[in-house]
Chain A
């Protein structure tokens, strides 16, 4: 793989991680802000960490996947471009 493409792939992966984490954190923030009928806490009044992880991943995974797929589509022309690495 060309060096330029490698750097782009790493950049896209970092971007996907940031956007995914941001989306997950935003989802968690909204859930805690609403906290409907105490859904974010367990019966003893402690934060339900398993549910928090689920909430986070529900938005992290799709966002991460979308950014990776879009990034790959953007990378395709670069992978097959005739320009050589410097």
Chain B
């Protein structure tokens, strides 16, 4: 088969080149976005205070120069390598991109930095008596088996959502009139996860638990090393770049298992 194509007229050749130019433009755009994503990392070190460029973003190359040329300069550790292309996007863009990857069930590598300052304690308004974990145990076990997700992870999410999201009855009031954005027991943001069911579907606790479990599975599928605190953080806010108080609370509840 010949590698060359011959055209009768120059106009014909130009017409044939139009889709190629469109493809080239798309590739150039994709490459530009990829370069932008690779440039940003939330853990990129800064030049230490006391130096001429103190506070500026730096990299390991600068750190080596600083170590060689500036006696006494503190060299910070290099940022952990991440293949998370969503880090270069704005928070809403990252949320959208990650949501698509969660629904896809993989294909991404979400990076969420550890946060030793995250508070794992329950807020003052948390009410353990509002927990619905015991009431929906059958649904949790079914969803866990169906999606191959740890049932204690589902219980932890449900426990935190129901004990901290009761709003002294106001949450139930808004749910009952169909005005709340999120629906218990897994507190699914109905319009944001429309692919997992309509508002009516998600008002059914059984479907709600299954949808929440699918989200958890999708998050886990996009993590190279799934960790309860990171999964919890992402369940609460997909655009998160470091472990939140919510994630730390989920990890603490997962460990304590207060529903037992």
Contacts and interface: CB of A to CB of B under 8 A. Distances in A.
Interface in A19-57: 27, 30-31, 33-39, 43-45, 51, 54-55
A30 B125 contact: yes
B188 A30 contact: no
A67 to B, nearest CB: 15
A58 interface: yes
A33 B164 CA distance: 10
Contacts of A43: 92, 96
A17 to B, nearest CB: 18
Contacts of B29: none
A50 B235 CA distance: 24
B187 interface: yes
A54 B167 CA distance: 14
Contacts of A31: 167
Interface residues of B, number: 29
A44 B187 contact: no
Contacts of B50: none
Contact of A38 (B161, B173, B174, B239): B239
Nearest to B177: A58
Interface residues of A, number: 19
Contacts, number: 59
B158 to A, nearest CB: 12
A27 B166 CA distance: 10
Contacts of A44: 92
Interface in B163-189: 164-165, 167-168, 170, 173-174, 179, 181-182, 187-189
A5 B246 CA distance: 49
B207 interface: no
Contacts of B189: 36-39
Contact of B182 (A33, A36, A45): A36
A31 B92 CA distance: 19
A51 B189 CA distance: 13
Given A27-B170, A39-B181, A34 B165 contact: yes
B85 interface: no
Contacts of B149: none
A59 B173 CA distance: 10
A51 B90 CA distance: 23
Interface of B: 90-92, 95-96, 123, 125, 161, 164-165, 167-168, 170, 173-174, 179, 181-182, 187-189, 192-193, 235-239, 246
11 contacts: A27-B170, A30-B164, A33-B123, A35-B236, A36-B165, A36-B187, A36-B236, A37-B235, A38-B238, A45-B91, A58-B174
Interface of A: 27, 30-31, 33-39, 43-45, 51, 54-55, 58-59, 62
Nearest first, the 4 closest Cβ-Cβ pairs linking A and B are A37-B189, A45-B92, A39-B181, A36-B187
